[in-house]
Amino acid sequence: GQQVMQIPQYQHVQEGEDFTTYCNSSTTLSNIQWYKQRPGGHPVFLIQLVKSGEVKKQKRLTFQFGEAKKNSSLHITATQTTDVGTYFCAALTSGTYKYIFGTGTRLKVLA
Amino acid sequence: DTEVTQTPKHLVMGMTNKKSLKCEQHMGHRAMYWYKQKAKKPPELMFVYSYEKLSINESVPSRFSPECPNSSLLNLHLHALQPEDSALYLCASSQDEFSAASQLTADTQYFGPGTRLTVL
């Protein structure tokens, strides 16, 4: 079945450093969503991308959808301890009616 | 109100028990979902209900039985579970069932806090 891979699996950064997680699909996607799950918590919706090459920003977070709509990235500028958690992408493929969650990237921020 | 509630928060059950997980939302959402999440893994879709009808069953074993009594409630009935079924069970809802032609906001999934299930 379809797989959505994220790299890296884990990332430890010093507070203030930047962080990027990449989401890759073997098939062309219709939409992609990003979620954040804090330790012990549940996924919380961050953003949805629909258009090829789309870039969206939320304060220190920048989201990008690849031109070929097969990959996406989330970049956090100047990480803070509140950014700790696991970031998941979730991908919707044309003709399907479900989002497949990526493998996730767990971020730890060291103060 | 953008809250999805789930009860109980924690559940410990034996392999011969019958129990139910409950989920409720009052956002007027027409699609509701059950996900299973093992530790350090992504959520895996189990069931999708759209307009109170089961629209997707991801080949889930029959020991898991979903029920949607009305548009606000979603239950998951558990019977004869195995220890490997221990996991976090997440309920979610969205305005509509997903499609590539949907409005941007319609696909947003609102997750409940989950029920942490342990099967002994």
CA nearest to B116 within chain A: A40
> Which of A47, A65, A97 is the best mutation test for B, with the most CBs of B within 10 A?
A97
State the average pLDDT over residues B19-35. Answer: 95
| Contact assignment for B100 to A102 by CB distance below 8 Å | no
Residue B85 near residue B28, CB atoms below 8 Å: no
Residue B11 near residue B18, CB atoms below 8 Å: no
In terms of phi and psi (left: phi > 0; alpha: psi -120 to 50; beta: otherwise), the region of A62 is beta
How high is the pLDDT of residue B79? 95
Strand, coil or helix: what is A81? helix
Span A82-103, pLDDT tens digits? 999 999 999 988 777 788 999 9
How high is the pLDDT of residue B73? 97
How high is the pLDDT of residue B107? 79
Adjacent-strand bridge partners of B91: B34
The more confidently predicted of residues B68 and A3 is B68
Residues of B in contact with A90 (CB under 8 A): 109
Span A57-77, pLDDT tens digits? 999 999 999 999 999 999 999
Mean pLDDT score across all residues of chain A: 94
Span A35-54, pLDDT tens digits? 999 999 999 999 999 999 99
Q: Tell me the CA distances in angstroms from A57 to A63, B22, B96, B106, B113, one per residue in order.
A: 6, 36, 25, 20, 27
Say whether pLDDT at B1 is over 90: no
**B39 interfaces chain A, CB cutoff of 8 Å:** no
How high is the pLDDT of residue A96? 76
Say whether pLDDT at B89 is over 80: yes
Mean pLDDT score across all residues of chain B: 91
Residue reference for tokens 């990480």? A79
How high is the pLDDT of residue A98? 84
For chains A and B, what is the number of CB pairs under 8 angstroms? 61
Closest by CA to A84, choosing from A12, A4, A6, A3, is: A12
Say whether pLDDT at B105 is over 60: no
Angle at A46 between CA B57 and CA A12, to 5 degrees: 105
**B113 interfaces chain A, CB cutoff of 8 Å:** yes
| Contact assignment for B43 to A41 by CB distance below 8 Å | no
How high is the pLDDT of residue B44? 96
| Contact assignment for A43 to B45 by CB distance below 8 Å | no
Angle at A60 between CA A54 and CA A66, to 5 degrees: 20
How high is the pLDDT of residue B2? 67
